[in-house]
Amino acid sequence: MLFVGVDLGTSAVKLLLMDENGKIKNIVSKEYPLYFPHPGWSEQKPEDWFAQSMEGLKELLEGFDKDQVKGISFGGQMHGLVVLDKEDQVIRPAILWNDGRTAKQTDYLNQVIGKEKLSEYTANIAFAGFTAPKILWMKENEPENFAKIEKIMLPKDYLAYRLSGSFCTEYSDASGMLLLDVEHKCWSAKMLEICGITEAQLPKLYESWEVVGTLKVEVAAELGVSEDVKVIAGAGDNAAAAVGTATVGNGGCNISLGTSGTLFISSKKFGVDKNNALHSFDHADGNYHLMGCMLSAASCNKWWMDEILKTKDYPAEQAGITRLGENHVFYLPYLMGERSPHNDPSARAAFIGMSMDSTRENMTQAVLEGVAFGLRDSLEVARSIGANPERTKICGGGAKSPLWRKIIANVMNMKVDLIESEEGPGYGAAILAAVGCGVFDSVEEAAKKLVKVTGTEEPDSELVQKYEERYQEFKKLYPALKGFFQKKQA
- Asked if residues 300 and 261 have their Cβ atoms less than 8 Å apart, the reply is no
Residues of each annotated binding site for substrate: 78-79
Measured between alpha carbons, how far is residue 28 from residues 13, 31, 46, 156, 470 in Å? 8, 10, 19, 17, 43
Cα–Cα dist 34/328, whole Å: 40
The C-alpha atoms of residue 372 and residue 379 are separated, in whole angstroms, by: 10
The count of residues in the chain is 490
Is 99 a known active-site residue? no
357 contact partners, CB below 8 Å, separation of at least 6: none
Residue 30 pairs in a beta bridge with 13
First vs last C-alpha separation in the chain: 57
Find the DSSP H helices in 87-207.
103-107, 115-122, 131-141, 143-147, 155-164, 171-174, 189-195
d(CA 433, CA 257): 26
Backbone torsions φ then ψ of 186, nearest 5 degrees:
-150, 160
Residue 269 buriedness (CB in 10 A; 0-12 / 13-18 / 19+): exposed
Q: Exposed, middle or buried by CB within 10 Å (0-12, 13-18, 19+), for 462?
A: exposed
Question: By the 8 A CB rule, do 298 and 342 touch?
Answer: no
Contacts of 383 (CB under 8 A, 6+ apart): none
Q: Which of 478, 305, 489, 475 is nearest to 404 (CA)?
A: 305
- Catalytic site residue from 237, 282, 285, 377: 237
Annotated binding site: 78-79
List the catalytic residues. 237
